[in-house]
């Protein structure tokens, strides 16, 4: 093998690319073992501070992995992915990583691969682990990167809470970094109708149980329902966060709209591997890219695309790693100033999926349309400003990406509500709320769990007009702030989105739609007003006026809160016990509070 480098760990695709490249070109070498030349400055490698005896020890261990002297001299680039055999969205990421590693080798670096697998929110396991997993991912990556003295990082994540975990790690480490998000599934069809994997349980299973489709047809649907290789192809949390990575400037243009099985993703990954080496030579770090102005751009994009409610707390958690505060008021102000222009399900008409978004020009076309509202002077991982990147973007398909002067709605997709039921805020995705439910008043019905609410809905025991409440599922109360997605899927399957509202201090899936208010703060476990709502209390949701109230007197509310006691729960063990004790509130990103403040 040319140069005697470590290629055994690369997949076949990567080996072929690397071999052809090495045969045809002489790779650039660093100036010496510790200093890498750049166009603007000299940047020391992370192991340059080691005394000779420690450096010899380190390099000897790396020789044991299979690296030769030239590989040891190069920049050491950590390449972390969320590949694994536990999530259909991540099953292809080994090939994406091979392309990244080929790009790193080609640019003169040495890639060092490691994995922390993503988890799927639809596995129906213990759902309260998903958000804490985000912070676990960030901490694991930090640990591996620090102990190995990586000089730069390429992040290859996919899925809801995983992409923000990687971006949190990028911000915390502040090493030259590039993100390559893993794309989305390209769906199969049944009788010329697109099969959404998230419809199999609430829709087709119900049709089979009710005798509307045969067992054979149901079997055919199940076998074609989830093709894998990427996230679910709607503007749910996974694709929202891929868009946020690109909007922040941390991934290459068009990454967020490329399907997982498309060879364009392989080519982007190769470019990302090359680019991280260039970023190191230029001395460009995440803190130079993810500035407050870049976050404001990302928030505007979040509002314009009708992104997931989870995008809010994830952006807050990422920003916190850079000592930046994104307050709810910032989101509301930017939402008021930013029209909703992207018609991709579950927002808007619901007729378009991510494939349509890709065909319409992807995120660069959205940002091109938003350009008058954006700070285009911010730096991106291309090494160019956002303005430079957008110069080549084209105007998108107007049936998917609307013009600023004729938007789907004059304000953004998300808004915080406040009132006596949510003194510190509650979040709603107004772009996914039926027009009839923008102002809704109805009686509360309390359920101890989402499962209990689902059973009542299936049994037709929830009357139209009801406001269903599931509480004690916030960051501390659950603990973990679980996703309450299945109730809303069932509401949609039964055609009751214009008749039933849902309130919680937990979270919803980005795939959900309907009049659904989440992230209610203070959460019930902190003694917030949500804890003392009783059955048949009248709740008022007023989206235009950003209000969420319970119609009882201030004195009655005060009396109830004074007599409230936290319900007893079994002792929590393991990681969730740590999360429960240290998590911030939902309006602060629900991340681990590892600082003194």
Give the model confidence (pLDDT) of 404-436 as tens digits.
999 999 999 999 999 999 999 999 999 999 999
Same domain for 107 and 256: yes
Q: How many domains does the chain have?
A: 3
Query: In sequence order, which residues have a C-beta less than 8 Å from that of residue 216 and are 6 or more positions away?
Result: none
**Residue 16 binned pLDDT confidence (cut-offs 50, 70, 90):** very low
Same domain for 135 and 61: yes
Query: Would you say residue 405 lies in a domain?
Result: no
Q: Bigger pLDDT: 571 or 373?
A: 373
Q: Are 234 and 342 in contact (CB under 8 A)?
A: no
Catalytic-labelled residue, pool 122, 335, 347, 509: 509
Query: Would you say residue 595 lies in a domain?
Result: no
Res 360: pLDDT: 97
What's this model's pTM, rounded to 2 decimal places? 0.91
Same domain for 280 and 218: no
Domain range enclosing 503: 414-565
Same domain for 500 and 479: yes
Q: Bigger pLDDT: 11 or 404?
A: 404
Q: How far is CA 306 from the centre of its chain?
A: 14
**Residue 597 binned pLDDT confidence (cut-offs 50, 70, 90):** low
Same domain for 291 and 259: yes
Q: Summarize pLDDT for 552-571 with one digit per residue, the tens.
A: 999 999 999 999 999 988 76
Alpha-carbon span 547 to 422, nearest angstrom: 9
Q: What are the tokens at 251?
A: 């991934």
Same domain for 164 and 194: no
Mean pLDDT over the full length of the chain? 91
Average pLDDT in the 385-412 region? Answer: 95
Helices 93-107 + 12-24 axis angle, to 10:
20
Same domain for 422 and 295: no
Query: Would you say residue 589 lies in a domain?
Result: no
Angstrom CA distances, 260 to 10, 134, 230, 276, stand at: 19, 21, 5, 21
Query: Would you say residue 19 lies in a domain?
Result: yes
Alpha-carbon span 175 to 178, nearest angstrom: 10
Alpha-carbon span 589 to 323, nearest angstrom: 13
Q: Summarize pLDDT for 105-117 with one digit per residue, the tens.
A: 999 999 999 999 9
Q: Summarize pLDDT for 173-183 with one digit per residue, the tens.
A: 999 999 999 99
Same domain for 218 and 243: no
Q: Is the pLDDT of residue 41 over 50?
A: no
Alpha-carbon span 43 to 283, nearest angstrom: 7
**Residue 512 binned pLDDT confidence (cut-offs 50, 70, 90):** confident
Same domain for 102 and 32: yes
Same domain for 161 and 308: yes
Query: Would you say residue 488 lies in a domain?
Result: yes
Same domain for 100 and 245: yes
Q: Is 536 left (phi over 0), alpha (psi -120 to 50) or beta?
A: left
Domain finish residue from 356, 390, 424: 390
Same domain for 245 and 210: no
Query: Would you say residue 573 lies in a domain?
Result: no
Residue 347 falls in the annotated catalytic set: no
CATH code for position 437: 3.50.30.80
Angstrom CA distances, 103 to 77, 96, 175, 332, stand at: 11, 11, 18, 41
Query: Would you say residue 575 lies in a domain?
Result: no
Res 596: pLDDT: 63
Q: What percent of the chain has pLDDT over 90?
A: 85
Domain finish residue from 330, 357, 390: 390
Res 352: pLDDT: 95
Query: In sequence order, which residues have a C-beta less than 8 Å from that of residue 318 and are 6 or more positions away?
Result: 164, 167, 168, 171, 248, 290
Domain finish residue from 374, 390, 406: 390
User: Whose structure tokens read 């006026």?
Assistant: 545
**Residue 32 binned pLDDT confidence (cut-offs 50, 70, 90):** very low
Angstrom CA distances, 68 to 36, 71, 99, 188, stand at: 18, 5, 21, 46
By three-state DSSP, how is residue 415 classified? strand
Query: Would you say residue 597 lies in a domain?
Result: no
- Nearest-CA neighbor of 136 among 84, 187, 82? 82
> How many Cα atoms occupy the beta-carbon half-sphere of 283 within 13 Å?
9
By three-state DSSP, how is residue 339 classified? coil
**Residue 509 binned pLDDT confidence (cut-offs 50, 70, 90):** confident
Average pLDDT in the 351-371 region? Answer: 97
> Other CB atoms closer than 10 Å to residue 196's CB: what's the count?
19
User: Whose structure tokens read 């952006």?
Assistant: 315
The residues facing 517 across adjacent strands are: 428, 503
> Other CB atoms closer than 10 Å to residue 415's CB: what's the count?
22
**Residue 202 binned pLDDT confidence (cut-offs 50, 70, 90):** confident
């Amino acid at each position: 093998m040319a140069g005697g480098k470590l290629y055994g760990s690369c997949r076949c695709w990567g080996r072929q690319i690397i071999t052809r490249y090495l045969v045809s070109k002489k790779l650039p070498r660093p100036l010496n073992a510790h200093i890498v030349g750049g166009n603007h400055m000299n940047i020391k490698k992370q192991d340059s501070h080691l005394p000779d005896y420690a450096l010899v020890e380190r390099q000897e261990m790396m020789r044991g992995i299979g690296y030769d002297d030239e590989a040891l001299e190069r920049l050491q680039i950590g390449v972390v992915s969320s590949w694994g055999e536990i999530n259909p969205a991540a099953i292809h990421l080994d090939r994406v990583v091979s392309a990244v590693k080929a790009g790193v080798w080609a640019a003169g670096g040495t890639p060092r691969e490691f994995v922390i697998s993503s988890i799927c929110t639809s596995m129906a396991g213990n759902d309260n682990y998903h958000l804490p997993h985000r912070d676990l991912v960030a901490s694991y990556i930090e640990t591996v990167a620090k102990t190995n003295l990586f000089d730069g990082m390429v992040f290859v994540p996919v899925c809801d809470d995983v992409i923000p975990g990687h971006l949190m790690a990028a911000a915390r480490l502040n090493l030259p970094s590039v993100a390559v998000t893993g794309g989305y599934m390209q769906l199969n069809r049944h009788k010329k109708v697109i099969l959404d994997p998230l419809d199999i349980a609430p829709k087709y299973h119900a049709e089979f149980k009710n005798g509307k489709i045969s067992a054979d047809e149901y079997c055919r649907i199940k076998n074609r329902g989830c093709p894998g290789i990427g996230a679910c192809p709607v503007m749910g949390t996974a694709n929202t966060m891929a868009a946020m990575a690109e909007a922040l400037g941390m991934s290459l243009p068009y990454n967020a709209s490329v399907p997982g099985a498309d060879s364009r993703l392989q080519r982007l990954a190769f470019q990302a591997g090359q680019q991280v080496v260039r970023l190191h030579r230029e001395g460009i770090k995440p803190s130079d890219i993810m500035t407050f102005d870049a976050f404001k751009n990302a928030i505007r994009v979040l509002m314009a695309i009708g992104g997931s409610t989870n995008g809010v707390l994830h952006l807050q958690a990422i920003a916190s790693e850079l000592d930046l505060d994104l307050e709810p008021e910032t989101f509301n102000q930017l939402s008021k100033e930013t029209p909703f222009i992207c018609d991709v399900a579950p927002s808007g008409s619901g007729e378009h999926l991510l494939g349509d978004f890709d065909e319409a020009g992807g995120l660069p076309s959205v940002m091109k349309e938003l350009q008058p509202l954006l700070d285009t002077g911010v730096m991106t991982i291309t090494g160019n400003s956002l303005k430079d990147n957008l110069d080549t973007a084209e105007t998108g398909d107007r049936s998917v990406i609307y013009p600023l002067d004729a938007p789907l709605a004059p304000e953004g997709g998300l808004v915080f509500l406040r009132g006596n039921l949510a003194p510190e805020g509650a979040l709603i995705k107004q772009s996914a709320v039926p027009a009839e439910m923008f102002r809704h008043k109805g009686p509360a019905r309390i359920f101890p769990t989402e499962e209990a609410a689902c059973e009542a809905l299936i049994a037709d025991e929830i009357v139209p007009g009801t406001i269903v409440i599931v509480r004690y599922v916030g960051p501390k109360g659950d603990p973990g702030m679980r996703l309450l997605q299945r109730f809303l899927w069932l509401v949609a399957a039964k055609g009751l989105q214009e008749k039933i509202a849902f309130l919680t201090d937990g979270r919803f899936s980005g795939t959900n739609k309907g009049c659904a208010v989440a992230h209610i703060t203070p959460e019930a476990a902190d003694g917030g007003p949500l804890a003392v709502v009783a059955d048949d209390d009248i709740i008022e949701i007023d989206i235009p006026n950003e209000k969420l109230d319970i119609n009882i007197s201030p004195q009655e509310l005060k009396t109830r809160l004074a007599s409230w006691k936290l319900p007893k729960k079994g002792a929590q063990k393991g990681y969730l016990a740590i999360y429960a004790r240290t998590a911030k509130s939902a309006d602060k990103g629900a991340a681990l509070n590892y600082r003194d403040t």
